[in-house]
Amino acid sequence: MRIDIITCVPNLLESYFAHSILKRAIEKKLTEVHLHDLRDYTTYKHRQVDDYSFGGGAGMVLMVEPIDRCIQKLKEERDYDAVIYMTPDGERFNQKLANRFSMLTNIIILCGHYKGVDDRVRQHLITHEWSIGDYVLSGGELAAAVVSDALIRLLPGVLSDETSALSDSFQDDLLAPPVYTRPAEYNGWKVPEVLLSGHEANIQKWRYEQSLERTRERRPDLLGG
């Protein structure tokens, strides 16, 4: 999978992909992540990429021209399966979308900034609009990092134990069960005996019951009644 991220502040994202699991995935050539500075595609003096909003109102708006120039240049080099715009009013990103889009080959993620983008970008250049939550950030860079992380960790070979992703929260519309590690007892706090029993069927049954109970308590909406 190749992910191209368009942003007017690429420095915000460089560190995120230079560490831990994502760094190893890139080094192993299991994925490619390319950051594109929107300011490289403007024809305006002083590398301007935003302007005031027609009709008045507070906040600056990212202009259509540099975004279009960047996207068209990328499309000249390869075909893209999706062009995603990160925006607070987009579809809520979830694990089902992560699973589906992790199967794609090439995607573009556009980071909003300031008051957003000229709506002609959304009308003519974008295929999907996603949000990571009902709140507003200063820009879409953190959201793009979140989406990229969620997609990349699902790629074959990225996680040392590929079954790990299958047991994550939301994979089966349930939250993940509690997990424990050594020591088996600390400060009088004990690990549940079933996890120490070695009885695989009983362990799986316990984990399912714990997932169900945790979901009922914390996210009953996932159970659909």
Please write the tens of the pLDDT for every residue from 180-214.
999 999 999 999 999 999 999 999 999 999 999 99
70 has a pLDDT exceeding 80: yes
Q: Which two tokens stand for residue 73?
A: 């240049």
Closest CA to 151 of 39, 50, 4: 4
Question: How far is the C-alpha of 210 from the C-alpha of 175, rounded, in Å?
Answer: 9
DSSP letter, residue 113: B
Closest CA to 17 of 112, 146, 128, 137: 146
Q: Which residues contact 220 (CB under 8 A, 6 or more apart)?
A: none
Q: Are strands 60-62 and 50-52 parallel, antiparallel or unpaired?
A: antiparallel
pLDDT at residue 165, rounded to an integer: 65
What's the pTM? Answer: 0.89
Question: How far is the C-alpha of 144 from the C-alpha of 24, rounded, in Å?
Answer: 19
CB 39 within 8 A of CB 7: no
pLDDT at residue 166, rounded to an integer: 61
163 has a pLDDT exceeding 60: no
Question: How far is the C-alpha of 83 from the C-alpha of 4, rounded, in Å?
Answer: 9
Question: What is the tens place of the pLDDT at every residue in 90-111?
Answer: 999 999 999 999 999 999 999 9
CB 221 within 8 A of CB 94: no
Bigger pLDDT: 172 vs 153: 153
Domains and CATH numbers, the chain: 2-152 (3.40.1280.10), 169-223 (1.10.1270.20)
